[in-house]
A = this chain, B = another copy of it.
Amino acid sequence: MTTELSLNTITTKAWTLGQCIEACARHGIPGISPWRDVLQAMGVQAAAKHIRDAGLKVTGLCRGGMFPAADAAGRAAAIEDNRRAIAEAHAIGAACLVVLGGGLPKGSKDLPGAREMMREGLHAILPDARAAGVTLALEPLHPMTCADRSVLSTLGQALDLCEELGAGTGVAVDVYHVWWDPDLARQMARAKGRIAGFHVCDWKVPTTDLVFDRGLPGEGVIDIPAIRAMAEASGWTGGVEVEILSNHWWAQDPETVIREVKARRAYC
């Protein structure tokens, strides 16, 4: 059985959403996961129609969350923005809204406080997500992003939040963010029925940038099939979403990147 692919639009960042949709159709890639900037550039309703007409499955919308902020107005603005993201996810029929933790507020060293802001933000938007039928897919990011992108650092922490929040929540597992975790096998088993997204890319050796140096599957040291097997043992059937943030690959023709992704399916 061939694993179903989904194209996360950041992988082909030079393209508009329209170009990404056409490329998926042209290359027989059945899924797509847009970022909000390209979605909004196309217009949410127009995008919803194009994606539907192309017969694509929307494996997620990137991204909500990012709740911690230095003041109450900033936190309220983040919550409002997440409500818009939920509406957008609903409009395009996305399987989930990918939710990031966000980093420390500027100037802050209060990590427990930032985690509490994340928790409060999630509680605030949960009723909206439930009403819209949009799953909030909590995505732990690699601990190296803790200061500026994600105070949600481990799968165990994400699952603790899922248990607290209940229906309408799940986890997005990106192999890049979790592969190192000595507790991974246990947490992946614990995630049974909770996996709402499965993202792939690879960890290059050496890695020269903390955010924008990911590899295509097979370029690095992550045993992706082993982690996918854990996901499938926990009920995941949604294939793999390819999300490559990479200055190197962004400098190539996106058509080349798509062909490379397809050629590397065996590494997923």
Q: Which of A144, A180, A203, A205 has the most CB of B within 10 A?
A: A180
Mark out the residues of chain A between 91 and 145 whose CB falls within 8 Å of any chain B CB in the assembled complex. Answer: 104, 108-111, 115, 142-144
Is A223 interfacial (CB-CB < 8 Å)? yes
Expressed in whole angstroms, the minimum distance between the Cβ of A103 and any Cβ of chain B is 8
Q: Which residues of B contact A252 (CB under 8 A)?
A: none
**How many residues on A have C-beta within 8 angstroms of the other chain's C-beta atoms?**
31
Is A147 interfacial (CB-CB < 8 Å)? yes
Is A45 interfacial (CB-CB < 8 Å)? no
A153 to B184, CA, bound (A): 12
Among residues of B, the one whose C-beta sits closest to the C-beta of A144 is B144
Given A144-B143, A148-B205, A109-B221 contact (CB < 8 Å): yes
Among residues of B, the one whose C-beta sits closest to the C-beta of A182 is B157
Is A154 interfacial (CB-CB < 8 Å)? yes
Q: Which residues of B contact A67 (CB under 8 A)?
A: none
Determine if B153 and A181 form an interchain contact, defined as CB atoms under 8 angstroms apart: yes
Is A179 interfacial (CB-CB < 8 Å)? yes
Is A29 interfacial (CB-CB < 8 Å)? no
Q: Which residues of B contact A222 (CB under 8 A)?
A: 109
A180 to B154, CA, bound (A): 10
A147 partner, pick from B157, B182, B208, B221, beta carbons under 8 A: B221
Q: Which of A110, A208, A220, A221 has the most CB of B within 10 A?
A: A221
Is A156 interfacial (CB-CB < 8 Å)? yes
A153 to B109, CA, bound (A): 22
A182 to B152, CA, bound (A): 8
A258 to B51, CA, bound (A): 60
A180 partner, pick from B111, B179, B183, beta carbons under 8 A: B111
Is A166 interfacial (CB-CB < 8 Å)? no
Determine if A156 and B180 form an interchain contact, defined as CB atoms under 8 angstroms apart: no
Determine if B180 and A146 form an interchain contact, defined as CB atoms under 8 angstroms apart: yes
Q: Which residues of B contact A143 (CB under 8 A)?
A: 142-144, 180-181
Determine if B182 and A221 form an interchain contact, defined as CB atoms under 8 angstroms apart: no
26 CB contacts below 8 A, A to B, read: A104-B205, A109-B222, A110-B223, A111-B179, A111-B223, A142-B144, A143-B143, A143-B181, A144-B144, A144-B207, A144-B210, A147-B180, A147-B203, A147-B205, A147-B207, A147-B220, A148-B205, A148-B206, A153-B180, A153-B182, A154-B181, A154-B183, A156-B183, A157-B182, A157-B183, A208-B210
Smallest CB-CB A-B distances: 5 pairs: A146-B180, A144-B144, A143-B180, A157-B182, A109-B223
